[in-house]
Amino acid sequence: MRLKTLIAGAMMMPAVALAWPWSTDMMNQPSIKPQEGTMLNFPERSIPVGGMPTKVADREAAKSLVNPIKATEKSIAEGRTLYKIYCATCHGMTGAADSPVGGKIGAIALNDSYVQESLTEGWVWGTVTFGSYVMPAYGIPQGKRGSNDLNVEERWHVVNYIKHGLVKDHMAASTAAAK
């Protein structure tokens, strides 16, 4: 009777039941857990992986950021690929906001002078990072809006494409369509 009462009691108080000494057996293993023990120094000359720690509070703060990635052919090509995956649905294949969705949600054209001349590269990067009013974020999700699909470098590649490849692509597409 006493044993039954004990078991019944343990079942009613799972917190107590979980605290048996053997409850954590599976957790305690020889491997070192995060924050456990002393951190070893990094080997000499090691470099961060995928490292470009760009921390900014919001889009306003990103406005004056200097693009750390040169607009080489390679970067522009990378940006073009990412643009077609992530941006073309709304902004159109070559930025003229002529996609079926674009017209419905008011996506703006990226090939006109507003984006090409008035907006800084930092601002465009900030827009991709934090999103805009309707546009979702691609770097740092805002609440439930957006994702972190693009890392810091990828966002700069997209900026390089918008500022150094998109207009050319748009003109080539328009010429081809007119033929």
Q: Please give the residue ranges that form the binding site for ligand HEC (CB under 6 A).
A: 86-87, 89-91, 105-108, 110, 115, 119, 124, 127-128, 132-136, 138, 158, 162
Q: Name the minimum Å distance from CB 50 to ligand HEC.
A: 18
Which residue number, 132 or 174, has a Cβ lying nearer to ligand HEC? Answer: 132
Q: Closest by alpha carbon to 79, among 171, 179, 168, 19?
A: 168
Which residue number, 51 or 88, has a Cβ lying nearer to ligand HEC? Answer: 88
CB 86 within 8 A of CB 79: no
Crossing angle of helices 166-178 and 152-164, in 10° steps, is 50
Read off the tokens for 153.
């470098």
Q: Name the minimum Å distance from CB 67 to ligand HEC.
A: 14
Q: Name the minimum Å distance from CB 30 to ligand HEC.
A: 45
Residue 1 CA, distance from chain mean position: 60
Which residue number, 81 or 173, has a Cβ lying nearer to ligand HEC? Answer: 81
Which residue number, 159 or 175, has a Cβ lying nearer to ligand HEC? Answer: 159
At 98, which amino acid appears? D
Q: Name the minimum Å distance from CB 15 to ligand HEC.
A: 46
CB 156 within 8 A of CB 126: no
